[in-house]
Structure 1
Amino acid sequence: MFCPNKNSYLQLVCAMNPRVINKAVDQAMQRKHFDPHTELPPAQRLESMQPSLYAPHVDITRARLGFGRVGLRIINRELHDPDQLVQLQALHTIMDQVQISENAIFLIDIHVVYRLIDLMLDRDPIVREKVCLTLTHLAGYYQGRQRIMSRADIISNLMKLIMRDRKEIRYAASYTLRTLARDRCACEKIMENNDIIEDLLKMIKNDHTGIVVLHLKTLANLAEWDQIRPLKANAFQVMLKLFENEDYRIISGAMDCMAQLCKHEIGRKLADENDITFVLRRFLNSPDIEVIISTVGLMAYTTLTTRSKWRAKERCTELAKRLVKLCHSPNKPVLQLRCMQVLINLCDCSDFRFYIKTYLEKKVLGIKIRTHEEWDGTTETSSYGLETGHNYRTMCIEKVECIKNDYGDNALVVNVHSYLKRLAEMKQQLINAINWKPYRD
């Protein structure tokens, strides 16, 4: 028999409803006690007590304690319970509760991050994976990132999991590291690890596709902070090799990482030596839009040198027509911005400028730029509409364009009006570059 009121099992398998047996026993004993859990309707409790993620070996129809501030403190202490089952249930419950922002902030305040970091290298693989998933969610909060990065051993623990553990835990640990690397302040502390760049490049060569994509995003964020260390570790040659990969996500990630490396003069010199401008021509016709966006983003840096501009002049007709055609993509403002920047760079070459002035000037003047009513700052949509709406202040949005400045110590997200104004100014700069004449003329 099963008593829902006491949460106890007297018989695990029963052919009939246990509540019927309970009511028969109560009637035979002539008990006067009224138990609301054995009467109809059977569920006389608040729906908010039902968790969305169920812990293992727990009766989901009953809650022992409401998840208030007292309950969260108890669960936080149970993370170090000697009973492994209690510890696992507490960890699973915390992973469910951090989905609620109020509870996540309270758990951060009572130092749940430190307890989770102590469990990162636990013997149980389930514990290691759930700790990484919970830390990933907490790292989405500013307070969570501050607490996580205050522990010096967090990066070394993550790298141990990424280098040696099974693939499910490697993916979870890679996701945690990628989330932390999106914060510029955290990048400075992450780069204090002397071997992190070399280890990530080593794992990129042999790991699964999903994990490689996360590592590439992490490397791009770290290279944005410091280009010298990745260049010394031959990251440029590794990224160039990844251009031959079959997965479009890996190609796009490698291009984004190489674009950060080409911000340094050594990276641009390597790009000239390897003739990257000619290598990227075939990717301008890629069927994947993300590859095209990453391609023109990389070309914006590789076409800054005189050598690359003269090399691009050899394919003047092909490049000019394709780039101007890509500029007519009002649904992808980031693609417009990057294509116009590449054209401005190439217009320093007189032959390239003459060709656009003669044959493509009308198309350049006809480039359409969205108004702020037509665009809310995102390009990715879901079945329920736009994912983020007008939330411009957040820095961590998955699969959605975060508009931020590429320069300065404070690379902050800007609003839609500023971004569209930047697009209009870029178009005017392109028109001026086309019509530019030498001083002697």
Structure 2
Amino acid sequence: MFSPYKNSYLQLVCSMNPRVINKAVDQAMQRKHFDPHTERPPAQRLESFQPSLYAPHVDITRARLGFGRVGLRIINRDLHSPDYLVQLQALHTILDQVQISENAMFLINLHVVYRLIDLMMSRDPVIKEKVCLALTYLANYYQGRKRILSRPKIIENLIWLIMRERREIRYAAAYTLRTLTRDRCSSEVILAQDKIIENLLKMVKNDHTGIVLLHLKTLESLFEWDQVKPLKANAFQIMLALFTNSDPRIVCAAMDCMTQLCKHDVGKKLADEYDLTRVLTPYLLNKSIEVRISAVGLMQYTTLTTRSKWRAKEFCDELTRNLVHLCHCPNSPLLQLRSMQVLINLCDCPDIRRHMKRHRDVKVNKIRIRSHEEWDGTSETSSYGLATGHNYRTMCIERVETIKNDFGDNAQILNVHSYLSTVQDVKRSLIYAINWKSYKN
């Protein structure tokens, strides 16, 4: 039967209005409460539940779809039905069914991915958006990514949608591409496409904030695999320009992309030319903790060269004071770890080491590191069960910098005890670096 809440057509054969059946069941059960999904007018939902692109001319009495393996085979065949309404109903139902892991795996084995790829270039904007959303759910599985990337043409179609379609479709296509790049092997296949880095960098300059954020996450995964192509496409200058964006999420994503670029020798030279360490110094006092974490993470690579260390000597007092202040943040062990690593890099310069010994030695020794009972594995502190949920030690929380890698097919759960012992080791290394003396002395 038709479910207005899920926007799916679930009955096999129906000769009457499904809402009459829903009302009859409610009366037989003697329900006293008001059900907004069965009353007139239909689909009385919140405004945020309404889709941005509506399905036109949908007749619910013409649906011939159902649950179970039989129904999934029917909707898989109906994706290429000559009847437009049947095709649209099948696509809406598949979008609901792929959110169930068992049904998603069954549809992957039925090669539904290939049928969806054929519908990507349809003239109907509703079909384009729903196809991208369905592919996003299927791309969360290893088998789904393998089937999707077996046809590299999908990358060309996604880039075409990202650059030429309306905002809703651009967002859906960007989300699909971002999901495909979570796997490192998939990033290698995507980078084989011509000018994909250049096209994404064009869209990063002037697009909607949410779409730009997805593109930056995609570029970060691609930069981690190969830094040569983005450096040739002037990605360093583009990411540097995004540092002044008003949205802290974009600033964090741009810094993360720049971190991947600075892993290359050319990226380190460009960081010295643009004096990136000096540029990042004001961000150490930013109100957003995500910006501070990203800035210190990038500074770990900008302070590796000899030129950067001698340049940092000119504003040594301000830089070391801010970094030591960040080291006294026991609520964020990740921020402590990165800040202490930057100080270790700077202590290679004799003048900075002497300054640290004279002015910061006492504060460094007083750095407090949390115990495993005080830390839940994230960089942000929140009340129990509010932002992280009851299963907070094994969940991946979006928009929260997690220490553990809890997503993907090969999730590596990091032991909290071992991580905190690593922070303790880095603190001892910092104290040793401050007190180190050359053989000449």
Whether these two folds match at TM > 0.5 is: yes
Q: Compared with structure 1, are the counterparts of its residues 237 and 65 closer, same or farther at alpha carbon in structure 2 (3 Å cutoff)?
A: closer
Counterpart of 2:28 in structure 1: which amino acid?
Answer: L
Is the Cα contact below 8 Å between 1:7 and 1:59 reproduced in 2? no
Question: In the alignment, does 2:151 pair up with 1:151?
Answer: yes
Aligned pair count? 404
Deviations 1:291-315 (A, max 9, x none): 1111111111000011111111111
- Could you say which structure has the greater relative contact order, defined with CA pairs below 8 angstroms and 6 or more residues apart? 2
The RMSD of aligned alpha carbons is 3.2
Show the 5 A alignment for 1:52-63.
Answer: 57=58
Q: Bigger CA drift: 143-152 or 187-196?
A: 143-152
The runs of 5 or more residues in structure 2 that have no matched partner are 1-10, 32-37
Q: Cα offset for 1:7? A: 4.5
CA distance in 2, matches of 1:204, 1:141: 27
Within the alignment, does 1:289 sit opposite 2:289 as a pair? yes
Q: Residues 41, 413 of structure 1: CA spacing in aligned structure 2 closer, same or farther, 3 A cutoff? A: closer
Partner of 2:197, secondary structure, is helix
Mark the runs of 5 or more structure 1 residues left unpaired by the alignment: 11-16, 20-34, 44-49
| Counterparts of 2:418 and 2:188, CA distance in 1 | 28
Which residue matches 1:390?
A: 393
Aligned to 1:324: 324
**Deviations 1:335-361 (CA, angstroms, capped at 9, x unpaired):** 111111111101111121122222222
User: What's the CA shift for 1:400?
Assistant: 3.6
User: How big is the shift at 1:415?
Assistant: 3.4
> Which whole-Å CA distance do the structure 2 matches of 1:237 and 1:283 have between them?
18
Q: 1:368 to 1:66 in 2, by over 3 A?
A: farther
Residue 41 in 1 paired to residue 29 in 2?
A: yes
Quickly say closer, same or farther: Cα 1:348–1:39, change in 2 above 3 A: closer
Offset at residue 252 of structure 1 (A): 1.5
Asked if the contact 1:403–1:413 (Cα under 8 Å) also holds between the matched residues in 2, the reply is no
Corresponding letter in the other structure for 1:386? T
Spell out, residue by residue over 1:37-88, the C-alpha distance to the aligned partner (whole angstroms, 9 max, x if none): 5962378xxxxxx99999964669x996652122112111111111111111
Separation in 2 of the partners of 1:212 and 1:6? 45
2:370 counterpart letter in structure 1: R
Q: Could you say which residue in structure 1 is the equivalent of 2:165? A: 165
- Counterpart residue identity of residue 389, structure 1: Y
**3-state SS, counterpart of residue 243 of structure 1:** helix
1:155–1:190: 8 Å Cα contact kept in structure 2? yes
- The residue number in structure 2 matching 1:22 is none
Asked if 1:8 is matched to 2:16, the reply is: yes
Structure 1 residue 36 displacement after superposition: 7.0
Look up the equivalent residue of 2:254 and give its one-letter code: A
Task: Provide the TM-score with structure 1 as the length reference.
Answer: 0.83
Matched, 1:361 2:361: yes
Q: How does 1:229-248 map to 2 (within 5 A)?
A: 229-248=229-248
Q: Is the CA contact 2:379–2:402 (under 8 Å) kept in the aligned structure 1?
A: no
| Pair 67,350 (structure 1): closer, same or farther in 2 beyond 3 Å | same
Q: CA deviation at 1:134?
A: 1.3
Q: Who wins on radius of gyration, i.e. which is larger?
A: 1
Tell me what 1:220 maps to.
220
Q: Per the alignment, do residues 111 and 18 of structure 1 end up closer, same or farther by CA in structure 2, a change over 3 Å counting? A: closer
Instruction: State the identity %.
Output: 63
Alignment of 1:395-414 (within 5 A): 398-403=398-403, 414=414
Stretch moving more, 119-128 or 418-427: 418-427
Q: Tell me if structure 2 keeps the 8 A contact 1:116–1:131.
A: yes
